[in-house]
């Protein structure tokens, strides 16, 4: 069995016609017939059966096609990655970040790094919750992540890079909307829209209420900040959020919280004992230098 045979098999399954499939593959019909026959002999199963002038997959052929498509898809992803790496000879960096930092600090670091190196480095940026990003880092999907540190993740080094202000987000018509600050205990009678458990903000919100000795009245939950903002604008409730450009919008007032000791930090995370691509390591050092100057 070789790779060409698998490509031939997938194409013939798509066209169900030897002549058209051969034309698509830019080979002769006898070459295609011989390749498919050889594959069937090796597998010990018939993959196609005749239906008039066409061919159709047998039951075994249909099942085999699922595996072939999955295998070729993964292979093509790998090929695309290598081609991208070669095309982006000046560097390629995979970043993961929580949504509250995707509009501000990290993009500024990316720009300052590109300016300092003078290279057109390609950055692939994806967002997710802190737990999703940490799992992705451990599965080698990212070179660096920006999220809330989780102390139990002993394989990952977390470096605090900046602090985010915690605010109460309320509808503009709310009785608190014109206040300069809100004490955490004043939120006890309010309906609260909370982040889902997959978000570190779920833990933070519950911790703040426990420390204040008040009960949280949950009116709904959502994973994304933009969804929570939409629910607040609709008058469903209020929320505790990290202040970031994404949540500054019409229909919502953001008021700093008082009476809390907790500080929300965004950390840069990376694997402790695993080498990073050269440019990813240079970007890490660039950020370390930047935060040392602040």
- Residue 218: which residues within 8 A CB-CB, separation 6 or more? 191, 192, 193, 194
Rounded CA gap, 135 and 129, in Å?
10
Q: How far is CA 243 from CA 33, 202, 209, in A?
A: 64, 16, 18
CA dihedral of residues 208, 211, 214, 217 (deg, nearest 10): 30
**pLDDT of the residue at 244:** 82
Q: How far is CA 45 from CA 4, 37, 40, 72, 91, in A?
A: 18, 10, 5, 20, 46
pLDDT in tens, 47-99: 999 988 899 999 999 999 999 999 998 898 888 777 666 555 567 899 999 88
Q: pLDDT at residue 240 above 60? A: yes
Say which DSSP state 260 is in: -
Note if the pTM is more than 0.85: no
Q: pLDDT at residue 259 above 60? A: yes
pLDDT in tens, 265-289: 889 999 998 888 888 999 999 999 9
At residue 82, the 3 state secondary structure works out as helix
- Residue 293: which residues within 8 A CB-CB, separation 6 or more? none
Report the DSSP pairing between strands 217-222 and 191-195.
Answer: parallel
Portion of the chain with pLDDT greater than 90, in percent: 61
**pLDDT of the residue at 84:** 66
Q: How far is CA 166 from CA 23, 70, 226, 251, in A?
A: 62, 45, 16, 19
Rounded CA gap, 149 and 279, in Å?
23
| Nearest partner of 54 among 28, 18, 8, judged by Cα | 18
**pLDDT of the residue at 83:** 67
- Residue 94: which residues within 8 A CB-CB, separation 6 or more? 124, 126, 141, 142, 143, 144, 280
What's the sign of the alpha-carbon dihedral 272, 276, 282, 283? negative
Location of structure tokens 């450009």: 245
């Amino acid at each position: 069995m070789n790779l060409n045979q698998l490509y031939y098999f997938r194409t013939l399954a798509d066209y169900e016609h030897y002549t058209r499939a051969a034309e698509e593959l830019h080979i002769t019909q006898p070459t295609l017939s011989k390749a498919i026959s050889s594959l069937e002999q090796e597998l010990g199963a018939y993959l196609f059966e005749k239906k008039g002038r066409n061919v159709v997959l047998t039951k075994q052929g249909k099942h085999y096609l699922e595996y072939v498509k999955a295998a070729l898809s993964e292979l093509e992803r790998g090929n695309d990655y290598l081609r991208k790496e070669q095309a982006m000879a000046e560097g390629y960096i995979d970043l993961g970040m929580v949504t509250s930092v995707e509009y501000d600090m990290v993009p500024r670091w990316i720009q300052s790094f590109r300016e300092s190196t003078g290279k057109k480095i390609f950055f692939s940026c994806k967002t997710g919750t802190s737990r999703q990003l940490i799992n992705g880092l451990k599965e080698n999907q990212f070179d660096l992540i920006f999220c809330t540190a989780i102390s139990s993740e002993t394989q990952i080094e977390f470096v605090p890079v900046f602090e985010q202000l915690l605010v109460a987000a309320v509808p503009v018509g709310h009785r608190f909307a014109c206040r300069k600050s809100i004490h955490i205990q004043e939120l006890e009678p309010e309906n609260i829209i909370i982040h889902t458990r997959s978000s570190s903000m779920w833990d933070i919100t519950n911790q703040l209420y426990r420390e204040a000795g008040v009960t949280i009245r949950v009116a709904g939950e959502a994973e994304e900040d933009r969804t929570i903002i939409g629910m607040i604008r609709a008058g469903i409730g209020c929320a505790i959020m990290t202040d970031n450009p994404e949540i500054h919008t019409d229909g919502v007032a953001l008021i700093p919280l008082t009476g809390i000791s907790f500080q929300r930090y965004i950390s840069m995370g990376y694997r402790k004992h695993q080498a990073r691509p050269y440019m990813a390591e240079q970007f890490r050092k660039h950020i370390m230098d930047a935060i040392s100057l602040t």
